[in-house]
Amino acid sequence: MRYAETGFDLEVDLTRGNIERVATDPRLTRLHLGGLGINARILWDRVPPEVEPFSPENLLIFGAGLLVGTPAVGCNRTIVSTFSPQTRLMAYSIMGGFWAPELKYAGYDRVILRGRAAELVYLWIHNDRVEIRDAAHLQGKGAVETAELIRQELREPKAQVAAIGLAGENRVYFASIEQGRSSASRGGIGAVMGDKRLKAIAVRGTRDVHIARPDIFLELVSEVLQYIEVRRNHPIPGVMPILAGLGSPQEMVVHDEKWHTENFSWGNSRHRRKDFWTEEIEKKWTATLESMRTRLISCHNCPMKCAATISVPGQPTYMMKCFSKLTYTMAAMSDLEFGLRIAQLATEHGVDAFSAPQVMAFALELYEAGILTDQDFPGMPADNEGRFYWLLDRIVRREGIGDVLANGTHWAAREIGRGAEEYAHNNIKKHEQLPLKLGMLNPIYFLMYSTGEKINITQIEGNFPQAPFATREEREAFARDWIHVPDERFKQWFVDWELRGERSIPHYPPVDATCEIVNWQEQMHYIDDSIGMCAGLSSFPLKPPYHIHNLPTLISAGAGFDLDEAGLTQIARRNRTLVRAVNIRRGLRREDEKPPADHWRKRFPELETRLLDEYYRYKGWNADGIPTEESLRELSLDDVADDFLQRGILTAGGEARGEATSAQPPAPGE
C-alpha cells in the first residue's frame, strides 16, 4: 500500500488522444517527495534542453504535493511545471484551492500532458474514467465562466476545474491557469496549456488517501490547528499588519494598505508615493472593499481565508487573493475600485496579476516617451483607466500592439527597439518582478532575487524578518520563542542586526550568515512545494506552524518512511539542485543572476560579487552557478553529473568551461 501518495500518474498524449494510468516508482518519493521535486525529475528525464516551450514535446505537469488530501492543514497545492515561453526556463507556478486534493481523491498524484490536440479540448477525470472532450463551445470563454459551464454540462457541481481564458488560448506569455479562488500565474504556463489546445482539466474523485501512522500524524496536525488559533489572537508585534499574522498573506482581510501603497512603486514600477495613505483614502478604500467583498474564503482544509468573493456592481462575481488586489490599481495610478473592476476581466482572461499591469504601464510609458505613437494605439481612450481596459483587451486577443505586448516587457522591448529596452527595467530572467524600488542594498534580498528560480520573491522569502526591529529589546523578545530557526546562530544574527551603524545592511548580516539565511528560507519553500504545503502556513510568514523541526515527523507519519531533519534537508537540497540543473542545461548562467539594475539606489558591486561567490560555494555550485560534479554525486544525482560531463557543461576534475566570472578571493572580515 502507498501512503499519502496514490502511487499513480495520469499520462495524457493530446496528439494521439491516448490516456494511461501509470504506477510510479516509490523510490522517487523517497528521493524527491513529490510536487515540485518529482515534476523537476520528470522534466529532466523527458524534456531535452532544445525543446521549445511551444512544442508538442514540451510537457505540462499538474502535480499534487505529497501530503495533499491528508488532514495536514493548508496542504492543498497544485504544482504546475513546464518550460516558460517568457524565461525559456523551467516554470513552476503553484496554486492553492481545491484542485490537487480532488486529483488525489480521484487516485492520481499528477497529470502529465504531452503533445498538442488538433482542436480545443478539455480533460475530464472522474476516478478511473478519464476522457478528452471537445471544447469548441468553450473557445474564447473566460476562465471562471468555463469552469461553471463544464460543471454544468457534466452535471458535477463538485468537480474542480483548472482552466485558461483568452490569454492562454492566444498564448500570451504571461497567461495564467485559473481555478476559482486560486491561480497558477507565473511563467506563462497558461500559454503552454493554450499551445497544447487544452482549455481545462476538470476532476472529481471519491477515493481514499491513506496515512501510514495515523495517531502521530493527527496529533501533530491538531497541534498545528491549535497554534493557528493562538496566533490569530497574538499577532507579531512591531511589523506591518500583513506580516504580523499567518496566511499567504491575508490581503483580502486587511484594510490598512499604508505599507504597500507607500513602499511599492506605482506606474511601471516607477513612482514611490510616500504620503499617499491618508485617512480619506483609507476610508474610501475600506468602503470599496467592504461593499464588494461578499465573503472571505479559504483553500481546502485551511482556516486562513486569504481570498474573497468579489462582486463588483454590473460585473460577474469572481474570486481574488493576494496582492492582485493592488497591482492594477498601482500600475494605473488609480484607486481600489478600478483595481477590483479590471481584475474581474483579467481573471476571466487569465493573466498574471504581476506581469499584466506592468506590461500595460510599460506600454503607456513608451507612448509618453514617443517610442510608441498614436499609430500603435488606434482608438485608445484618453484616460488612464480607459487605456488599461483597452490595452488588456488588445493583449489577450493579440491584436495590433497587443500582439507585441503579449510577449511581456522583455521581448516586447526588443521587438520595438528605439530605446524601449530601458523601459523594461523591472525584470529578472526576462520576467516582470514585484514593483519595488528601494534605497540601500539588502544582502539577503540581493541573493534571493539573483538566484531564485521561482521568479517571484514572495516564493523564496519568508521566515527571517525582512528588516531588523528598531531596538535590541524588541529583537530579543522576538527571538525568545523563535523555535523555527535551524539553530541558535540565526537568532544571534537577528538580535545583532541594527537599523543603522556597523551592524546594518549592506554589510550585516555578514556574507556567511547571509548565505545561511537565504538558504534556510529557500529550503523551506522547496519543502513546501514538494509536499504541497501552502507557503502561507509554512515558508512565508514569521513563526509559522510548520517548520524544519516538525515537518520531518509529519512527512514520515504521513508517507510511512523514516525521515529526520538531516534527511529532509538533503531532499530539499536535491530538489533545489535538480531545478537548477534543469535550467543550467537550458543555458542559465551567472550572468543571468541579477536583480533589476534600479532595484536599489545604493549598490555595492564588490560585495555583490562576494555574496554570489560565497553563496554558490555554499550551495555546492561552481563560480558560474553550475552544480559541481561532487555535489551532484553527493545528492545521488549521478545521471545529472554524467549528462553535464558529456555535454561539456562540466569538465572532469571539477572546473566548468569558460566561466569563473569572478576569481577574486573573498575580502577579509567585512
Interface ranges with another protein (CB under 8 A): 69-71, 73, 98, 105, 144, 148, 157-158, 180-181, 205-211, 214-215, 217-218, 225, 228-229, 232, 294-303, 305, 309, 316-319
- Residue 309 contacts which entry, another protein, ligand SF4, none (Cβ below 5-8 A, type-dependent): another protein
Grid cell of 169 as nine digits = 488560448
- Work out how close the CB of 536 gets to another protein at its nearest, in angstroms, rounded to a whole number: 13
Which CB atom, from 253 or from 372, has the smaller least distance to another protein? 253
* Alpha-carbon dihedral angle through residues 594, 268, 333, 185, given to the nearest 10 degrees: -70
Q: Minimal CA–CA distance to 39: which of 82, 70, 76?
A: 82
- Work out how close the CB of 246 gets to another protein at its nearest, in angstroms, rounded to a whole number: 11
- Residue 234 contacts which entry, another protein, ligand SF4, none (Cβ below 5-8 A, type-dependent): none
Distance CA 242, CA 394 (A): 34
Q: What angle do CA 181, 100, 209 make, to 5 degrees?
A: 135
- Residue 207 contacts which entry, ligand SF4, another protein, none (Cβ below 5-8 A, type-dependent): another protein
Distance CA 2, CA 26 (A): 8
Task: Return the bridge partners of 161, or none.
Answer: 202
Contact present, 62 and 162 (Cβ < 8 Å): yes
Distance CA 77, CA 63 (A): 8
Of residues 214 through 273, those in contact with ligand SF4 by CB under 6 A are: 247-248
Task: Look at the alpha carbons of 294, 299, 305, 307 in this order and tell me if their dihedral is positive or negative.
Answer: negative
Q: Using CB under 6 A, pick the residue from 536, 545, 552, 558 that binds ligand SF4.
A: 536
- Work out how close the CB of 551 gets to another protein at its nearest, in angstroms, rounded to a whole number: 19
- Work out how close the CB of 69 gets to another protein at its nearest, in angstroms, rounded to a whole number: 6
Q: Minimal CA–CA distance to 549: which of 524, 581, 580, 519?
A: 524
Which CB atom, from 16 or from 207, has the smaller least distance to another protein? 207
Q: Is 304 in the site for ligand SF4 (CB under 6 A)?
A: yes
Contact segment (CB under 6 A) with ligand SF4 among 274-282, 299-307, 358-366, 444-452 equals 299-307
Which CB atom, from 56 or from 316, has the smaller least distance to another protein? 316
- Residue 71 contacts which entry, ligand SF4, another protein, none (Cβ below 5-8 A, type-dependent): another protein
- Work out how close the CB of 168 gets to another protein at its nearest, in angstroms, rounded to a whole number: 20
Cis amide leading into 506 (omega within 30): yes
Which CB atom, from 96 or from 180, has the smaller least distance to ligand SF4? 96
Contact segment (CB under 6 A) with ligand SF4 among 8-16, 128-136, 295-303, 624-632 equals 295-303
Which CB atom, from 248 or from 409, has the smaller least distance to ligand SF4? 248
- Work out how close the CB of 180 gets to another protein at its nearest, in angstroms, rounded to a whole number: 7
- Work out how close the CB of 66 gets to another protein at its nearest, in angstroms, rounded to a whole number: 14
Radius of gyration of the chain (CA): 24
- Residue 248 contacts which entry, ligand SF4, another protein, none (Cβ below 5-8 A, type-dependent): ligand SF4
Q: What angle do CA 273, 276, 280 make, to 5 degrees?
A: 170
- Work out how close the CB of 28 gets to ligand SF4 at its nearest, in angstroms, rounded to a whole number: 26
Burial of 594 (0-12, 13-18, 19+ CB in 10 A): middle
- Work out how close the CB of 484 gets to ligand SF4 at its nearest, in angstroms, rounded to a whole number: 17
- Residue 96 contacts which entry, ligand SF4, another protein, none (Cβ below 5-8 A, type-dependent): ligand SF4
Instruction: At 178, give phi and psi (nearest 5°).
Output: -105, 145
Which CB atom, from 81 or from 556, has the smaller least distance to another protein? 556
Which CB atom, from 225 or from 239, has the smaller least distance to another protein? 225
Grid cell of 644 as nine digits = 553535464
Q: Is 298 in the site for ligand SF4 (CB under 6 A)?
A: yes
Which CB atom, from 300 or from 349, has the smaller least distance to another protein? 300
Q: Using CB under 6 A, pick the residue from 147, 534, 579, 649 that binds ligand SF4.
A: 534
Contact segment (CB under 6 A) with ligand SF4 among 123-131, 515-523, 534-542, 628-636 equals 534-542
Q: Minimal CA–CA distance to 84: which of 9, 195, 169?
A: 195
- Work out how close the CB of 643 gets to another protein at its nearest, in angstroms, rounded to a whole number: 39
Q: Is 74 in the site for ligand SF4 (CB under 6 A)?
A: yes
- Residue 228 contacts which entry, another protein, ligand SF4, none (Cβ below 5-8 A, type-dependent): another protein
DSSP 347-415: HHHTB-TTHHHHHHHHHHHHHHTTSS-GGGSTT--SSHHHHHHHHHHHHHHT-THHHHHTTHHHHHHHH
- Residue 537 contacts which entry, another protein, ligand SF4, none (Cβ below 5-8 A, type-dependent): ligand SF4
Cis amide leading into 313 (omega within 30): no
Identity of residue 299: C
- Residue 632 contacts which entry, ligand SF4, another protein, none (Cβ below 5-8 A, type-dependent): none
Task: Look at the alpha carbons of 434, 440, 445, 450 in this order and tell me if their dihedral is positive or negative.
Answer: positive
Contact present, 538 and 524 (Cβ < 8 Å): yes
CA distances to 19, 223, 260, 337, 508 from 443, rounded to whole Å, are 49, 35, 22, 37, 8
- Residue 292 contacts which entry, ligand SF4, another protein, none (Cβ below 5-8 A, type-dependent): none
Q: Using CB under 6 A, pick the residue from 130, 147, 253, 306 that binds ligand SF4.
A: 306
Cell 515558508 belongs to: 539
Contact present, 85 and 192 (Cβ < 8 Å): yes
Distance CA 572, CA 525 (A): 9
Residues that bind ligand SF4 (rule: CB under 6 A) add up to a total of 14
Grid cell of 618 as nine digits = 555554499
Q: Minimal CA–CA distance to 175: which of 192, 152, 200?
A: 192
Q: Minimal CA–CA distance to 341: which of 332, 571, 247, 453?
A: 332
- Residue 541 contacts which entry, another protein, ligand SF4, none (Cβ below 5-8 A, type-dependent): none
DSSP state of 265: P
Burial of 666 (0-12, 13-18, 19+ CB in 10 A): middle
Contact segment (CB under 6 A) with ligand SF4 among 298-306, 391-399, 423-431, 455-463 equals 298-306
Q: What does the chain come to in residues?
A: 670
Which CB atom, from 14 or from 209, has the smaller least distance to another protein? 209
What is the x/- site pattern for ligand SF4, positions 425-454, by CB under 6 A?
Answer: ------------------------------
Contact segment (CB under 6 A) with ligand SF4 among 34-42, 294-302, 572-580, 625-633 equals 294-302
Which residues contact ligand SF4 by CB under 6 A? Answer: 74, 76, 96, 247-248, 298-299, 302, 304-306, 534, 536-537
